[in-house]
Amino acid sequence: MTLIAAVEAGHTVTFLLRNTSVFDNDVDVQQYIKSSKAHLVKGDALVREDVQKGWEAAASNSSSGTSVCCEIYLFHLPLNSQKPGGIPKFHVVKGFVISPPNLVTQSLLNALSTLPTPRPRIITISSTGLTRTSHAALPLLLKPLYGYLLASPHRDKVGAERVVSHVAGWTWNSKEYGEPVAEVLDVEGQWRTLDGLPAEGTLKEDVLVIRPALLTDGECLAETGKQKYRVSEEELGGWTVSRKDVAHFVADASLNRWDEFKGKCVSIAY
């Protein structure tokens, strides 16, 4: 859905994918590939050189006719075996685990440390339930899911949000988040000196963090008019939201309402 909105707004879209065959049966994506409105680049976000290759491909595929490499950058690694991203495995003690345990955090570091100039609008998908306040606001039946089954992926999300907080110049609330564990982000803070990583606070006007409720594969209710998702900087305590409705918000926020949402961290749920 984000792809469709971007193309209709006159943009071209470049995907960096470990497996470019994930869209082989997607009729919508295939038509945009054939019309050169969408491009697939094979690469691993854990490999810095591959990420750089992705930026270079975005520049060469640009429809703007200018030197602008990328106007909008959406960072999302879905933990779902049916979609591009990490495939979690179940561990009886640890719940769902991903490999490596810093998949999201390291991929984000690679992306941020190779950013092109001028910098794009950066949107990263995180998760609800990461902070003490957010976890407390969850519906009671969802708390075991977030506290046990998704504990490992959430530690990775905390690492990613720690990185975003640094480059955006946001105050990091250790009482709410805790600190990222060593297997996700080095406790000595050496990541702050990573070559190419924007200095603290320099991206405060360029980032938006979105924390969706439990993601579903349902339809986009915003388009059908059946139900509208809620978006707030406060905790929403919602149960679910569809991936398509999150995509709807990503497109709306990045293309139409950037001044309203830039520099913010928002929750989205029904």
Q: What does the alpha-carbon distance between residue 210 and residue 231 come to, in Å, rounded to a whole number?
A: 9
Structural domain includes residue 38: no
Structural domain includes residue 61: no
CB atoms within 10 A of CB 182: 11
Nearest to 61 by CA among 116, 132, 140: 116
Structural domain includes residue 89: yes
What are the tens digits of pLDDT across the range 17-71? Answer: 999 999 999 998 999 999 999 999 999 999 999 999 999 999 888 755 444 456 8
What are the tens digits of pLDDT across the range 180-203? Answer: 999 999 988 899 999 999 999 999
One-letter amino acid of 120: P
In this prediction, residue 82 carries a pLDDT of 40
Domain count, the chain: 1
Structural domain includes residue 1: no
What average pLDDT does range 148-160 have in this prediction?
A: 92
What are the tens digits of pLDDT across the range 108-142? Answer: 999 999 999 889 999 999 999 999 999 999 999 99
Q: Domain range spanning residue 224?
A: 76-269
What are the tens digits of pLDDT across the range 192-248? Answer: 999 999 999 999 999 999 999 999 999 999 999 888 999 999 999 899 999 999 999
Structural domain includes residue 21: no
Calculate Rg over the CA atoms of the chain.
Answer: 18
Compute the Cα dihedral for 124, 257, 36, 244 and give only its sign: positive
* Confidence band for 3, pLDDT divided at 50, 70 and 90: confident
Domain of residue 177, CATH code: 3.40.50
Structural domain includes residue 256: yes
Indicate the range of 45-49, 81-85, 97-101, 186-190 predicted with least confidence. Answer: 81-85
One-letter amino acid of 129: G
> 3-state class of 189 per DSSP?
coil
